[in-house]
A and B are shown apart, each in its own frame.
Chain A
Amino acid sequence: MPASPPTRTEPELALHAEDVVAGYIAGIDILNGCTVEVRKGELVGVIGPNGAGKSTLIKAVFGLVPVRTGRVRLGERDITNLKANQLVAAGVGYVPQNNNVFPSLTVDENLEMGLYLRPRKLRERREVVSELFPLLRDRRNQRAGSLSGGERQMVAMARAMMMDPDVMLLDEPSAGLSPKLQAEVFRRVREVNGTGVSVLMVEQNARRCLQICDRAYVLDQGRNAYTDTGQSLLHDPKVVELYLGTLAQG
C-alpha cells in the first residue's frame, strides 16, 4: 500500500482501518492489508466480488474477527480488537447481515435492547429514532419475528441508532429484499447518514450502493482494488467490466 492518498486539508476521520490483516482460521488471512477511511458525516460503501473480504472487514472493525496486524481508529482513539460491547459504548453501531433482530421480543423491546448500556436515555432516544423510522411506531408491540424482511432490517437499523452512534456499520442491508424494499432500505440509510452519522456500508447490490454513497472502495482478494467517489466508480469502464457487470446499464 502507498502511505496515504494525497490530501489537501486533512479531513477529519470518523473511522480509519489501516492495513488490516484479519481472518478466521489460523494461517489463513482473508483481509490482506486493507485500508478504509470514513470521514465525518460520510456515507462510504464497500463493494467487491464474493470472497473479497467485505463482511470480514466490517466484522474486523467491530471486533468480531481478530485483527492480526494493522489498526482501527475511531476518531483519534485506537479501537483495534476492542470487544463489541466496548465499541458500542464508544459510539459504533453495527447491523449484522442475518438474524439481526430478537425475534421473540417486540419492536419496542428490540429498541430497548439497543440502549441496554444507557437505559436512562430510553424515552428520548426512542422519540428520535421513531422519527426516523415512522413505520415502526405502528408495529411497536408486534413481535419482531412476525415482521417482513424489510421491516426487520428497519428494526435492526433503528436498534443500532438507539445508542446515538458516531459511526454505523451496515453489513449488506439490502440482501434478500425485493426491489421496492431495497429502495426503501437505501433511503433509510441515506436518512440515517443525514442525521450526521458516518456510515460504512458493505453491499452486494453494487450499483445501488455506488449510486447513494459519497465514496466507495472496491475490495478484491482482501485488498483495495479501487477507491473513488461512488459516481466515478459507477462510470469507470474498468470497474464496470470487472465488478459491476454490464447487465443493468440502461
Chain B
Amino acid sequence: MADEPEVVAQREALVEGEGTLAPTSDVAVAAHHALDGVEPRPGVAKPDPILVVDGLRRRFGGLVAVDVEHLEISRGAITALIGPNGAGKSTLFNLLTGFDTPDHGTWTFDGTPIGGKRADQIARRGLVRSFQLTKALSRLTVMQNMMLAGSEQVGEHFLSALLPRRWRHQEQELERQADELLVRFRLDHMRDELAGTLSGGQRKLLDMARALMTDPKLVCLDEPMAGVNPALTQSLLGHVTGLRDLGMTVVFVEHDIDVVMTISDWVVVLGEGCVIAEGRPQSVARDPRVIEAYLGSDTEDEL
C-alpha cells in the first residue's frame, strides 16, 4: 500500500505508456537488418559504416588505454560499447570526438578523415557526445543550456548580434526545438531553473537533450542511463530507439546489461583497450571471454 497516495498519483501521471523499443521506421529496420550477415568477430567490416577507426592508440604513461586495430560503426544502428571499468570506453569516446589526442591512428566519419580535428569541428560535422559526468553549466538556466548548444547561430557574430531582426527568428526556432526536447526528456518543469539545482539524474537528461540540439548524425552517449531511475530509463530507451527511427546512428557506453540487450543492434566489447568481441547482443552475451572479463557468472544468484 502506498504511504502517500497523492504522491503516487502524481507519479502515475508522469509515467505514461511506453512505446515499442523495436525499430519502427523503414530506415531503422533496414539498419538493423544490414547487420544480419555480419560475422561476430573483432574488427569485422560492416556493409555501410558511418565511422571507421584504424590503428587508434592512446597511452597514459605505461598504460595502453586504447589500442583499437580496426573498428567500424554501422550507419543508422544502435551500437553498445561495453567492457569492465578501465577498459578504455570513455577514452575511446574522447579520442573519436576530439576531446583527447591519440598517439597514432586515423578515423573517418561519413567518408571524411577527422583525426586531428578539434572537438567543435567534429561536432559541427555531426558527431556529438554526452558525458559520463555531466557538464551542465550550473549558473545558466536549463533553457539557456539548451540554447547554447544550437549550432550556426547568426547572433554569434558581433555585427549581426547588434541587429535582433537577423537572429530573432532563428532564436525562436531554437527555443521551440529546445522546448520540445525538454518535454521529451521531462525537464520542461525545470525550464527556467538554474542547471545547478538539477539532481544528478536530471543533469544526465539535460546533457542528452542538449546533445540533440545540433541535429547530429551520430550521437555518442557515455553511460546515459547511469544515475537515471529505472522507470525513466525505460522511457529514455524509447528516446534512444527514437533517434534510430529518425535515421541517427547511436553509440553508447552502458553497464546495465538489460539495457544493452534490449536496444542494441550490435555490441562491441572492449577489454584493456582492445576490441575483444563484437556481434549481436545475444551472441556477445554467450561469449565466454565476455563473461569472464565483464559479466561475471550468474551474479544474481550470489545475491
Task: List residues of A whose CB falls within 8 A of some B CB.
Answer: 1, 24-25, 28, 47-52, 55, 97, 148-150, 172, 175-183, 186-187, 190, 204, 206-208, 211-212, 220-221, 223-227, 238, 241-248
Contact = CB atoms under 8 A, between A and B. Distances in A.
Given A51-B202, A177-B255, A220 B7 contact: yes
Contacts of B38: none
B11 A49 contact: yes
Nearest to A28: B197
Given A148-B85, A148-B86, A220-B7, A176 B223 contact: yes
Contacts of A238: 2, 8
Interface stretch (B49-57, B159-167, B231-239): B231-239
A225 B197 contact: no
A223 B3 CA distance: 9
Interface residues of B, number: 46
B12 A175 contact: no
Interface in B22-54: none
B295 interface: yes
B84 interface: yes
Interface in B80-97: 83-86
A174 to B, nearest CB: 9
B15 interface: yes
A174 B132 CA distance: 15
Given A212-B303, A223-B3, A242-B11, 17 more contacts: A24-B197, A97-B200, A176-B85, A178-B85, A178-B294, A204-B226, A220-B7, A221-B7, A225-B3, A242-B231, A244-B231, A245-B232, A245-B234, A246-B234, A247-B230, A247-B234, A247-B258
A206 B85 contact: no
Contacts of A225: 2-4, 7-8, 11
Contacts of B202: 50-51
A211 B202 CA distance: 25
A179 B132 contact: no
Nearest to B197: A25
B255 A226 contact: no
A51 B302 contact: no
A199 to B, nearest CB: 15
Nearest to B10: A221
A183 B2 contact: no
B206 to A, nearest CB: 11
Given A175-B227, A179-B257, A180-B299, A50 B234 contact: no
Nearest to B223: A176
Nearest to B205: A50
Give the interface centre of A172, A204, A227 by most chain B CB atoms within 10 Å: A204
A223 B229 contact: no
Given A50-B199, A148-B85, A183-B302, A176 B255 contact: yes
B258 A248 contact: yes
Q: Which 10 A-B pairs have the closest CB atoms?
A: A50-B201, A180-B296, A183-B299, A51-B199, A245-B230, A248-B258, A245-B234, A224-B3, A49-B229, A149-B85
B228 interface: yes
A110 B294 CA distance: 28
B226 A176 contact: yes
21 contacts: A49-B231, A51-B198, A51-B199, A52-B199, A175-B227, A178-B294, A180-B294, A181-B85, A183-B299, A186-B303, A204-B201, A204-B227, A211-B303, A220-B10, A225-B7, A225-B8, A226-B1, A226-B3, A242-B11, A243-B229, A245-B230
Nearest to A2: B3
B7 A179 contact: no
